Amino acid sequence: MKKKTILTLIVILMSHLMVSAQWPMRSQGPWEKGAFETRQYRNLFVEMGYRPDAVEKKLKEVFDDVFRGPNKVYFEVGDTLGYISDIKNHDVRTEGMSYGMMIAVQMGEKDIFDRIWRWSKKYMQHQDGPREGYFAWSCKTDGTRNSDGSASDGELYYITALIFASNLWGNDTGINYKAEAQRILNCSMAKDGTNGQRPLLHPEYHLITFTPDDMGMRFTDPSYHIPAFYEVWAKWADDGRADYWYKAAQLSREFLHHATDSVTGLNPDMCQYDGSIMQNPWMRRGGSSNFRYDSWRVPMNIALDYEWSCADKEWQRQYGERIQNFLYSQGIDSFVDQYRVDGTLPEGNEILQAGGFRKLRHSIGLVATSATASVMCAHEKKREFVKALWEAKHEPFEDGYFDAYYDGLLRLFAFMHLSGHYRIIFPNAMREMKTGALSATIDTGAGGKILSLKYDGAEVISQSPMPEAFGSTFWTSPQKEWNWPPVQEFDKYPYEIEEDGTDKLVISSGVAEKLGLRVKKQFCTNDRDHSLVVTYSIINAGKQTRKVAPWEITRVPNEGVIFFDSPVEGITPAGLMPFKASEGIAWYETDTANENRKVNADGKGWLAYLNKGLLLVKKFEDLSPTQPAPDEAEIQVYVNRGKTYIELESQGAYTTLAPGEQLTWTVKWYLVPFKGTAPSKQLLKTVRKMVKK
């Protein structure tokens, strides 16, 4: 074999290895920062080898099981109402209703959310009297109340779900979500013991009550403690009590240290405010001090606080491994759903019955919540817990017992957690810019990406649900400075909005810890030619001189034609992708392969893509062959394996920046309809007319 051929094969192999790093997800250790700061969420299923599309499909199936399947627990009433029923107990509970609202807002199901809220307000919420603002914890399915009293966890979820709905949908679509949340909070804080009604949080201990009344305020339920929810209230309830809620979050985290066993990690069903076992002999004999149904929620709740806040990360990591170690010791496929907190088995009346059965089981609800603890864990056992959840079948036991409601809801929450779909919903960070028929959507809250670019409603950018496979992002070059994954401060973290207008948006990233650089993006619409003009700035915010180049990465579907002004023989590695020469231009009609591929080219300051009658043209500075960063190029095309997505990439000049200096680089985007064929003189003429403007 000739040396030149061998060298070409080596180059191609190295290119394959380099670009293959862009897709495979690697298992990650526990995170150091929470989503309040990063807005990032792990997908443990993908990290552990499950295909992203399979994860999305599974999540939809589990959601449909609860809301739409033959064993659903959600039912619609007329045109505007809906409820979630505890089927085995033939009632509607604030627990399930508020869970349903949280799930609906997380999944973007506004109609379901609004229906459940309207039913809750009509039948469950007290509109006046001593209990005003609170909810009757149990009703018949026709709305008749079984009890007027409230369970504090229902209000906890109602308030948080309503705030998220306000952040996501605003307050002018028929329901003022924020006002409804504020009403519950204000009514709660106004209660002073008159007629036995108390605030949700104990006035002395600052911790959530079991029920907000004279009886239930004497103790608490560890599964009601979700510190991160209080942080949501502090940030967005706008009720003037931010400091109060931040303190509640801190004290709730401290409480959980005392309420969970130092060896097993198990927690009692109910306990004192110092975390100690209930002193009432009758309640102790009845098993209230044991780990059982309510208790299952604690690992899921602590995992949520870890994911969102990370404020108690060291203890939470230890806790996650502690409870998984105990359950693992009982058998990953056989641990039961009730224990004494020391890990011994309960007996007789200690075992809490459900659905007419008093029996210990390997319940899918606990399989689910124990799996969510994996987000906190570094040990390898976490994989077995995630696998157990993935493979668990939600079906009746041999004796006929089946819980579509509680087991089903916890299973759905766990799939949301582990797939990265249980998120803090920030106030709408999306910004839309329009000029003529062109519209662009920028997500200032997650990397400042251009998520959408449309002409008259027709989309040109990839909308793939896979990580790193959608939208248009910005990195610094060369890649060897940061390898993989992309620098999160630029690619995923929130950007600060500096200027927000109808035709101009300016946003800035944080300083990248690894590079000492900061990125600014300016988006402007040009009404003369109906283009989007994006100007990127890289600022050296560090103390050392840096060499860097700008790099724009736009993901599009793997279909259509890509073309630019370059000789085919100048595209490297040669032959990796089937570019053809026509009209003096390099053309690539998209194809599929089993491996990732990436090529470099020295273009003439533009890159174009034609698909389904839409022509995207990107115009930028034309570089000489020596101006790009080492091992990089003015134009790059990356094709992900299979028929998934393609990256259209362009780079600016490699520039030396002293501390405090910055570079700027502009890319002008055109999107227009084109009915002709490719390659063709007509298409090339259209493009050249654009880039000469």
Catalytic residues: 95, 294
Helix orientation angle between 297-308 and 242-259, rounded to the nearest 10 degrees: 130
DSSP 623: P
Spatial neighbors of 462 by CB under 8 A, at least 6 apart, are 469, 470, 471, 555, 556, 557, 645, 646
Spatial neighbors of 94 by CB under 8 A, at least 6 apart, are 120, 124, 135, 136, 137, 138, 150, 151, 153, 154, 155, 158
- DSSP lists the bridge partners of residue 208 as 201
Burial-class residue 545 by CB neighbours within 10 Å (0-12, 13-18, 19+): exposed
The Cα–Cα gap between 685 and 647 comes to 24
Cα first-last separation, the chain: 50
DSSP alpha helix (H) spans, 309-457 = 313-329, 364-372, 381-391, 406-418
493 with 38: CB under 8 angstroms?
Answer: yes
- DSSP lists the bridge partners of residue 667 as 534
93 with 87: CB under 8 angstroms?
Answer: no
Burial-class residue 517 by CB neighbours within 10 Å (0-12, 13-18, 19+): buried
530 with 436: CB under 8 angstroms?
Answer: yes
The Cα–Cα gap between 33 and 425 comes to 17
Is the N-terminal amide bond of 485 cis, ω within 30° of 0? Answer: yes
What tokens does 508 get? Answer: 């800035």
Nearest to 246 by CA among 262, 263, 229: 229
Long-range contacts of 329-333 (CB under 8 A, 24+ apart): 332/384, 332/385, 332/388, 333/362, 333/388
The Cα–Cα gap between 350 and 288 comes to 8
Nearest to 650 by CA among 454, 473, 453: 473
> How many contiguous H segments (helices) and E segments (strands) does the chain have?
18, 25
